[in-house]
Structure 1
Amino acid sequence: MITNIDILTLAQWLSPSFPVGAFAYSHGLETAFQNGQISTAGALQDWLADVLTHGSGRNDCILLRAAYASTSHDEVEQLNLTALAVSASSERVLETTLQGRAFSQTAAAIWGSDDVNACYPIAVGIAAARRKLDVEITAALYLHAFASNLVSAAVRAIPLGQTDGQRVLSALLPLCEEIAQTTRERDPDDLSSTAFLSDIAAMRHETLQPRIFRS
């Protein structure tokens, strides 16, 4: 049975104040801002919905669940290699590995979780399993944090008003819950991405100038 402390622990792990450096990454959104593909709240919502449903959001949720269910170090290692393989650009690899490492080190220091050198969703899944936190709530909150960070990037870079940003995030909440539920029966064999514009934007960001985000 999940407790309020469990929920608050997950809220702490996935809050903007947790030191994983998420604020420094735009997941390729900065490219879309600069080339005019995203300039309104509606365009941002559509873009993020696609990334969540058809790209990194869904994949991360599958990886998190697989890490939660993992039973050996070798299984985690193979899962991490798979996570790296489905990252669409060098900056996406940097984003997930550095955030995963930072999360794992902090969680290990405070809660005694396993300190693993793994991609971000895998590190979160392992830590949640170690503390026996509910995987359904963990997956939904992870997706919410993913979307929230990208909305925050848009508020800073478009620029987008704070109210419009929160309106977009609120509209994405049912989708976060839906993806968390529909990935319940999925495994790494189901990993895929058809969010092509997002992936191309992430690749182009590697040479984008000027820029304020690391991805």
Structure 2
Amino acid sequence: MTTDLSILTLSQWLSPAYPVGAFAYSHGLETAIQYGTIQTAADVQDWLRDLLAFGSGRNDCILFHAAYACETDHAAIAVDAVARANVPAAERLRETALQGAAFCKTTSAISGPPLPELTYPVAVGYGAKRLDIPAPLAAAMYLQAFTSTLISAAVRLVPLGQTEGQAVLSALSPLCHQIANDTDNTPLDNLQSSCFLSDIAAMTHETLDHRIFRS
């Protein structure tokens, strides 16, 4: 597969139009905004920078690369079990499991052969491996799409202007590229998070009196 076609495939997979339902999840961001922890574009950028560098963003990239290294469905399912065991909140588990299942269903239908039901970063990593899409490119675009989804949630919740949201994404894109490359060949034993506020926000989201997102 050529790099140009790889980019087009990834653009399709990671587009808001791809039916994984990413728009329905805030990854705990809704809690932080309701509690007043996040009030400005700068707050959003700081929150997401930490999430990418020290939390679930980095972990997703480690899982992505581990899945990309898999040669069989059995190996990918083993990575997936580790992914599920390391999710810190019930809603976060539903978020990654449901998006991953939807990704596998759609991708199997349009490009085959069938993918097993996997969590989202594992599904995208294993799917990229099957189509021989370059891992650094796919991981960076996955992480940018993850960031873009959360910025879109913040634009609606804070609220932020669309231009402010795009400025935050532009500022964080180099970090997405860096993390995608830095986590290549990182063992699963290095999965960890020091983003405790984000994890707690995800845990407490289900108790919010008013919410529009599923996580």
Aligned to 2:195: 195
Structure 1 unaligned residues grouped into runs of 5+: none
For 1:179 and 1:147, how far apart are their aligned partners in 2? Answer: 13
Partner of 2:115: 115
Q: How many residues align?
A: 215
Alpha-carbon distance between aligned partners in 1 of 2:81 and 2:149, rounded to the nearest angstrom: 25
Aligned equivalents of 1:207 and 1:181: distance in 2? 37
Q: How far apart are 1:113 and its partner, in Å?
A: 4.1
Contact 2:53 2:179 in 1 (8 A): yes
Between 1:141-150 and 1:188-197, the stretch displaced more is 188-197
Partner of 1:27: 27
- Other structure's SS at 1:31 match: helix
| Larger displacement relative to structure 2 (78-87 or 26-35) | 78-87
Change (3 A) 1:149 1:113: farther
Deviation at residue 209 of structure 1 after TM alignment: 1.4
Q: Deviations over 1:45-85 (max 9, x none)?
A: 00000001111100000101111111233322221111011
Between the aligned partners of 1:95 and 1:166, the Cα distance in structure 2 is: 24
Is the 1:114–1:126 contact (alpha carbons within 8 Å) kept by the matching residues of 2?
A: no
**Preserved contact between residue 103 and residue 120 of structure 1 (Cα < 8 Å):** yes
Contact 1:2–1:134 (Cα < 8 Å) also in 2: no
**What is the 5 A alignment of 1:54-73?**
54-73=54-73
* Structure 2: distance between partners of 1:12 and 1:71: 24
Task: Name the SS for the 1:198 alignment partner.
Answer: helix
User: Aligned partners of 1:88, 1:42: CA distance in 2, in Å?
Assistant: 26
Shift of 1:87: 0.7
**Residue aligning to 1:166:** 166
Query: How far apart are the structure 2 equivalents of 1:203 and 1:74?
Result: 31
Whether the 8 Å CA contact 1:67–1:79 is kept in 2: the answer is yes
4+ residue segments displaced more than 3 Å:
none
Partner Cα separation in structure 1 for residue 73 and residue 161 of structure 2: 45
Residues 146-203 of structure 1 deviation map (CA, whole Å, 9 limit, x = unaligned): 0000000000111111010000000001100110111013021111111111000000
- Name the stretch that deviates more: 180-189 or 101-110: 180-189
Q: Is the 8 A contact 1:140 1:180 kept in 2?
A: yes
RMSD: 1.0
Check 1:37–1:113 CA distance in 2 against 1; reply closer, same or farther (3 A cut): farther
- Does the 8 A contact of 2:61 with 2:143 survive in 1? yes
* Counterpart Cα distance in 2 of 1:209 and 1:103: 30
Residue 3 of structure 1 and its aligned partner are, at CA, apart by 2.5
2-structure distance, mates of 1:181, 1:76: 21
